[in-house]
Structure 1
Amino acid sequence: MSPPLILIAETHQDLRQKIREYLEQSGFRALPAASAHDIYSALTTTPVGALVLDAALRGPDGLDLCRDVRERSDVPIILVAANSSEVDRVVGLELGADDYMAKPYSARELAARLRAVLRRGRGERALGLRRQTEAIFEGWVVDFARREVSDPTGKQIDLTAAEFSLLSVFLDHAQTVIARTRLMELAGVRDTPSSDRSIDVLVSRLRRKLGEGGRPAPIVTVRGVGYMFSAVVDRR
């Protein structure tokens, strides 16, 4: 199996080259991108394993670009930006990023975070292949083998890798209260000072998508403890 290909969308050429060299020395393949056009071209022609996206990339606003990429693809996205405020981290996660890094950052830390998001994706695929089953709740159908989610009308709902991982955890622990720390561990959310907020944002994103059909999502907040998936889940 060839090493995963990392698309490096970084504004500054010197940093782009530095990151590329380090990632290739660390066992990845790396492809530089200097514009939104480069990103879209790579995503349509190359099996990209993950995207490192600079929020200040030339062309469209970086956050708008993050949202647009997420609408087109479920490729893991690590968003990097000069502003590291909680608001910016939350906005980035809301727009579909799987992780957020503040500039300046080290190439070593980036490589570690890339391994984490790729490992989570491989874990989900392995889990799906092992189960070869469907989970059904309130008319929704989750196909683990194909990683597809359909609402009661049959319409497919696009979930990011992180959202699908979280939904899988909820389905495995339906009608059971899960502490937030345990939920972070099971869903593969990194343990950082902002982890609590990150899992809340992820739950909010999933809840919003499961509520698109007009019925509230069966995700209950248990104040001071965590969350519970309240629906009855049938597996086939």
Structure 2
Amino acid sequence: MKTDKLLLIDDDTELGELLVEFLASEGFSLELAHSGEAGLAKLAESRYDLVLLDVMMPGMSGLDVLKALRGNNTVPVLMLTAKGDELDKVLGLELGADDYLPKPYSHRELLARIRALLRRVEMDHSKPGPAVQPVLSLGRVTLDTRVYKAMVEKQDLELTQTEFKVLQTLMERAGQVVTKNELYQTVLGRPLEPYDRSIDMHVSNVRKKMIMLAEDCRPIKTLRGVGYQFIAD
């Protein structure tokens, strides 16, 4: 059975050692980096299944690490943010984090978020079933789910894994309203929580990237208080 390899980038050495022991008991291998620079060095040398990234670190912050990482790496990233710091959450999601968990958190909360993200990634990379279309082409947007390639008018649409999954989910149900809770379950592997805007930020990122390629390409519609709908233009 495959052991998932995780990387924690956090300057709190005591917390790191505790998590190494706890996650080992749950079947995970956790490596530690106590600075942003050390974390990026490890990511350049090895492949990881998931990165746990603290925002508040001296020197190179978690947001700086994420910005550098997303230039060439699509590994799922779970941001660890200060409780109530909405700006860090928003910036982290805008820069390509997949999900976030506010501090202080319990080990069980962290474990649930890790498993949810890894389960989503595993499902995404499993062979598609007979009902799943490997290539979706609606209006000016095309997705090839076999190679994680997205295009707008034959121009590459650079998306994170989570952004790709958001767009895929909406396109597979084009014309239908997909509720926020359905998107949370499908994309992040967890239910919608009060005051959580993770999916809203991922949708916003997809929209911005589309508009950068074609200013009038706006196929994702918002149904306020309900969810989103993909309408081919």
Give the distance between the partners of 1:47 and 1:78, measured in 2 at CA.
16
Q: Give the match's secondary structure for 1:71.
A: coil
- 1:133 aligns to 2:134 (yes or no): yes
Number of aligned residue pairs: give it.
Answer: 230
Deviations 1:158-204 (A, max 9, x none): 22221111111111100112233333333336332233x22211211
Checking the alignment, whether the CA contact within 8 Å between 1:8 and 1:30 is kept in structure 2 is yes
Deviations 1:43-71 (A, max 9, x none): 22222000001112333222122222223
Deviations 1:77-98 (A, max 9, x none): 1111334333332222222211
Q: 1:208 to 1:52 in 2, by over 3 A?
A: same
Give the distance between the partners of 1:133 and 1:193, measured in 2 at CA.
34
TM-superposed CA distance for 1:35, in Å, is 2.0
AA aligned to 2:142 is: V
The 10-residue stretch of structure 1 (208-217 or 11-20) with the greater mean CA deviation from structure 2: 208-217
Checking the alignment, whether the CA contact within 8 Å between 2:54 and 2:81 is kept in structure 1 is yes
Checking the alignment, whether the CA contact within 8 Å between 1:189 and 1:199 is kept in structure 2 is no
Give ranges in structure 2 of 5+ residues lacking alignment: none
AA aligned to 2:109 is: E
Checking the alignment, whether the CA contact within 8 Å between 1:79 and 1:101 is kept in structure 2 is yes
Checking the alignment, whether the CA contact within 8 Å between 2:211 and 2:218 is kept in structure 1 is yes
The match for 1:204 is 204
The match for 1:90 is 90
TM-score by length of 1: 0.87
Question: Superposed, which structure 2 residues align to 1:1-236 within 5 Å?
Answer: 1-126=1-126, 128=128, 131=132, 133-154=134-155, 156-188=156-188, 190=190, 191-195=192-196, 197-214=197-214, 215-231=216-232
TM-superposed CA distance for 1:128, in Å, is 4.7
Give the distance between the partners of 2:142 and 2:26, measured in 1 at CA.
39
Runs of 4+ residues deviating >6 angstroms: none
Give the distance between the partners of 1:177 and 1:39, measured in 2 at CA.
40
